Amino acid sequence: MSAVVLASPPVRDDDAALVAGLRAGDEQAFVALVRDYQPTLLRLAEATVGSRAVAQEVTQDTWLAVMRGVDRFEGRSSLKTWLFRILLNRARSAADREQRAGRPEAIDDERFDASGAWAEPPEPWADRADDRLLAAQLAERVQSLLTELPESQRQVVVLRDVEGLPAAEVAELLGVSDGNQRVLLHRARARLRHLLAEEVISS
Protein backbone atom coordinates (compact mmCIF):
# COMPACT_ATOMS: atom_id res chain seq x y z
CA MET A 1 0.00 0.00 0.00
CA SER A 2 2.73 2.48 -0.75
CA ALA A 3 2.41 5.65 1.28
CA VAL A 4 -1.13 6.33 0.32
CA VAL A 5 -2.93 7.96 3.06
CA LEU A 6 -3.89 10.90 5.17
CA ALA A 7 -1.73 13.99 5.25
CA SER A 8 1.15 14.05 7.69
CA PRO A 9 2.35 17.17 9.52
CA PRO A 10 4.94 19.25 7.70
CA VAL A 11 8.58 18.44 8.36
CA ARG A 12 10.02 21.18 10.56
CA ASP A 13 13.48 22.62 10.07
CA ASP A 14 13.16 24.61 13.28
CA ASP A 15 12.70 21.92 15.92
CA ALA A 16 15.28 23.66 18.09
CA ALA A 17 13.43 26.97 17.95
CA LEU A 18 10.13 25.30 18.70
CA VAL A 19 11.58 23.37 21.64
CA ALA A 20 13.12 26.59 22.94
CA GLY A 21 9.71 28.22 22.77
CA LEU A 22 8.10 25.35 24.64
CA ARG A 23 10.74 25.49 27.34
CA ALA A 24 10.17 29.22 27.69
CA GLY A 25 6.46 28.65 28.18
CA ASP A 26 5.50 30.19 24.82
CA GLU A 27 1.82 29.37 24.42
CA GLN A 28 1.94 29.96 20.66
CA ALA A 29 4.67 27.35 20.27
CA PHE A 30 2.51 24.81 22.06
CA VAL A 31 -0.54 25.76 19.97
CA ALA A 32 1.50 25.31 16.79
CA LEU A 33 2.75 21.90 17.94
CA VAL A 34 -0.75 20.69 18.79
CA ARG A 35 -2.14 22.03 15.53
CA ASP A 36 0.48 20.18 13.48
CA TYR A 37 0.57 16.89 15.35
CA GLN A 38 -2.79 16.30 17.07
CA PRO A 39 -4.36 14.44 14.11
CA THR A 40 -1.22 12.34 13.67
CA LEU A 41 -0.96 11.39 17.33
CA LEU A 42 -4.66 10.59 17.52
CA ARG A 43 -4.40 8.26 14.50
CA LEU A 44 -1.41 6.45 15.96
CA ALA A 45 -3.07 6.16 19.38
CA GLU A 46 -6.24 4.75 17.84
CA ALA A 47 -4.18 2.30 15.78
CA THR A 48 -2.64 1.06 19.03
CA VAL A 49 -5.62 0.94 21.37
CA GLY A 50 -8.39 0.33 18.83
CA SER A 51 -10.78 2.78 20.46
CA ARG A 52 -11.36 6.42 19.57
CA ALA A 53 -12.33 7.39 23.11
CA VAL A 54 -9.28 5.74 24.68
CA ALA A 55 -7.09 7.20 21.92
CA GLN A 56 -8.27 10.70 22.82
CA GLU A 57 -7.33 10.12 26.46
CA VAL A 58 -3.93 8.78 25.43
CA THR A 59 -3.30 11.80 23.22
CA GLN A 60 -4.20 14.19 26.02
CA ASP A 61 -1.84 12.34 28.35
CA THR A 62 0.85 12.62 25.70
CA TRP A 63 0.55 16.40 25.49
CA LEU A 64 0.81 16.64 29.27
CA ALA A 65 3.93 14.47 29.17
CA VAL A 66 5.41 16.64 26.40
CA MET A 67 5.01 19.79 28.46
CA ARG A 68 6.42 18.13 31.57
CA GLY A 69 9.30 16.50 29.73
CA VAL A 70 10.34 19.05 27.11
CA ASP A 71 13.38 20.03 29.19
CA ARG A 72 14.66 16.48 28.75
CA PHE A 73 14.41 16.54 24.95
CA GLU A 74 18.03 16.25 23.78
CA GLY A 75 17.53 16.43 20.03
CA ARG A 76 18.99 12.98 19.36
CA SER A 77 15.90 12.25 17.27
CA SER A 78 13.50 14.56 15.49
CA LEU A 79 10.80 16.23 17.53
CA LYS A 80 8.25 14.16 15.59
CA THR A 81 9.93 10.89 16.56
CA TRP A 82 10.14 12.01 20.19
CA LEU A 83 6.40 12.75 20.19
CA PHE A 84 5.65 9.37 18.65
CA ARG A 85 7.76 7.59 21.26
CA ILE A 86 5.91 9.30 24.13
CA LEU A 87 2.56 8.55 22.51
CA LEU A 88 3.37 4.88 21.90
CA ASN A 89 4.48 4.33 25.49
CA ARG A 90 1.21 5.70 26.80
CA ALA A 91 -0.88 3.95 24.16
CA ARG A 92 0.67 0.58 24.99
CA SER A 93 -0.06 1.05 28.67
CA ALA A 94 -3.65 1.99 27.84
CA ALA A 95 -4.00 -1.00 25.50
CA ASP A 96 -2.76 -3.32 28.26
CA ARG A 97 -5.31 -1.86 30.67
CA GLU A 98 -8.10 -2.30 28.12
CA GLN A 99 -7.08 -5.88 27.44
CA ARG A 100 -7.06 -6.70 31.14
CA ALA A 101 -10.53 -5.17 31.33
CA GLY A 102 -11.76 -7.71 28.81
CA ARG A 103 -11.30 -6.33 25.30
CA PRO A 104 -10.82 -9.23 22.83
CA GLU A 105 -7.52 -9.45 21.01
CA ALA A 106 -7.56 -8.94 17.27
CA ILE A 107 -7.35 -12.12 15.22
CA ASP A 108 -4.37 -12.42 12.92
CA ASP A 109 -4.79 -12.92 9.20
CA GLU A 110 -5.59 -16.50 8.27
CA ARG A 111 -3.40 -16.20 5.17
CA PHE A 112 -0.28 -16.94 7.26
CA ASP A 113 0.68 -20.33 8.59
CA ALA A 114 1.83 -21.18 12.11
CA SER A 115 5.42 -20.23 11.31
CA GLY A 116 4.39 -16.78 10.08
CA ALA A 117 5.12 -17.56 6.43
CA TRP A 118 2.68 -16.77 3.63
CA ALA A 119 0.01 -19.44 3.15
CA GLU A 120 -0.99 -17.56 -0.02
CA PRO A 121 1.43 -14.85 -1.21
CA PRO A 122 -0.29 -11.55 -2.01
CA GLU A 123 -0.05 -9.64 -5.24
CA PRO A 124 2.23 -6.59 -4.99
CA TRP A 125 0.24 -3.77 -3.43
CA ALA A 126 2.37 -0.88 -4.62
CA ASP A 127 1.92 -1.82 -8.27
CA ARG A 128 -1.82 -1.45 -7.96
CA ALA A 129 -2.32 1.39 -5.49
CA ASP A 130 0.04 4.10 -6.68
CA ASP A 131 -2.57 6.31 -8.29
CA ARG A 132 -2.68 9.51 -6.25
CA LEU A 133 -6.11 10.35 -7.66
CA LEU A 134 -7.50 7.40 -5.73
CA ALA A 135 -5.47 8.05 -2.60
CA ALA A 136 -8.01 10.18 -0.74
CA GLN A 137 -10.85 7.69 -1.18
CA LEU A 138 -8.60 4.76 -0.41
CA ALA A 139 -7.26 6.52 2.67
CA GLU A 140 -10.72 6.92 4.15
CA ARG A 141 -11.56 3.26 3.69
CA VAL A 142 -8.17 2.08 4.94
CA GLN A 143 -8.54 4.19 8.09
CA SER A 144 -11.89 2.60 8.84
CA LEU A 145 -10.48 -0.91 8.29
CA LEU A 146 -7.46 -0.53 10.55
CA THR A 147 -9.45 -1.91 13.48
CA GLU A 148 -9.51 -5.26 11.67
CA LEU A 149 -5.74 -5.60 12.09
CA PRO A 150 -3.76 -6.76 15.13
CA GLU A 151 -2.21 -3.92 17.11
CA SER A 152 1.36 -4.37 15.86
CA GLN A 153 0.22 -4.36 12.25
CA ARG A 154 -1.91 -1.25 12.78
CA GLN A 155 1.04 0.58 14.26
CA VAL A 156 3.41 -0.34 11.44
CA VAL A 157 1.02 0.55 8.64
CA VAL A 158 0.14 3.90 10.26
CA LEU A 159 3.79 4.82 10.83
CA ARG A 160 5.02 3.64 7.42
CA ASP A 161 2.13 4.28 5.04
CA VAL A 162 0.21 7.06 6.76
CA GLU A 163 3.01 9.04 8.36
CA GLY A 164 5.75 8.10 5.91
CA LEU A 165 8.43 7.22 8.45
CA PRO A 166 11.43 5.23 7.19
CA ALA A 167 11.64 1.54 8.01
CA ALA A 168 14.60 1.87 10.39
CA GLU A 169 12.87 4.58 12.42
CA VAL A 170 9.66 2.55 12.68
CA ALA A 171 11.57 -0.52 13.82
CA GLU A 172 13.28 1.53 16.51
CA LEU A 173 10.04 3.14 17.68
CA LEU A 174 8.28 -0.19 17.97
CA GLY A 175 11.25 -2.07 19.39
CA VAL A 176 11.30 -4.71 16.66
CA SER A 177 13.90 -5.87 14.16
CA ASP A 178 13.89 -4.46 10.66
CA GLY A 179 12.92 -7.87 9.33
CA ASN A 180 10.00 -8.15 11.74
CA GLN A 181 8.89 -4.65 10.78
CA ARG A 182 8.84 -5.69 7.12
CA VAL A 183 6.81 -8.82 7.87
CA LEU A 184 4.28 -6.85 9.89
CA LEU A 185 3.95 -4.27 7.13
CA HIS A 186 3.46 -6.91 4.43
CA ARG A 187 0.84 -8.66 6.53
CA ALA A 188 -1.01 -5.42 7.24
CA ARG A 189 -1.01 -4.37 3.59
CA ALA A 190 -2.16 -7.81 2.45
CA ARG A 191 -4.97 -7.89 5.01
CA LEU A 192 -6.15 -4.40 4.09
CA ARG A 193 -6.04 -5.27 0.40
CA HIS A 194 -8.08 -8.40 1.11
CA LEU A 195 -10.67 -6.43 3.10
CA LEU A 196 -10.93 -3.76 0.42
CA ALA A 197 -11.38 -6.44 -2.25
CA GLU A 198 -14.17 -8.02 -0.21
CA GLU A 199 -15.93 -4.66 -0.03
CA VAL A 200 -15.73 -4.27 -3.79
CA ILE A 201 -17.13 -7.76 -4.36
CA SER A 202 -20.01 -7.26 -1.93
CA SER A 203 -20.93 -3.77 -3.16
The pLDDT assigned to 13 comes to 53
Q: Quick: pLDDT tens for 112-151.
A: 555 555 555 554 444 444 444 455 566 677 777 888 888 8
CATH 1.10.10.10 applies to domain 132-202: yes
Do 195 and 120 contact (CB within 8 A), yes or no?
no
The pLDDT assigned to 75 comes to 78
Separation between Cα atoms, residue 92 and residue 113, nearest integer Å: 27
The pLDDT assigned to 101 comes to 62
Separation between Cα atoms, residue 162 and residue 142, nearest integer Å: 10
The pLDDT assigned to 121 comes to 52
Residue range 15-100 forms a domain whose CATH class is mainly alpha
The pLDDT assigned to 102 comes to 56
The domain ranges of the chain are 15-100, 132-202
Q: How many CA atoms lie within 13 A of 44 on its CB side?
A: 31
Low-confidence ranges of the chain (pLDDT < 50): 1-12, 104-109, 123-133
The pLDDT assigned to 50 comes to 80
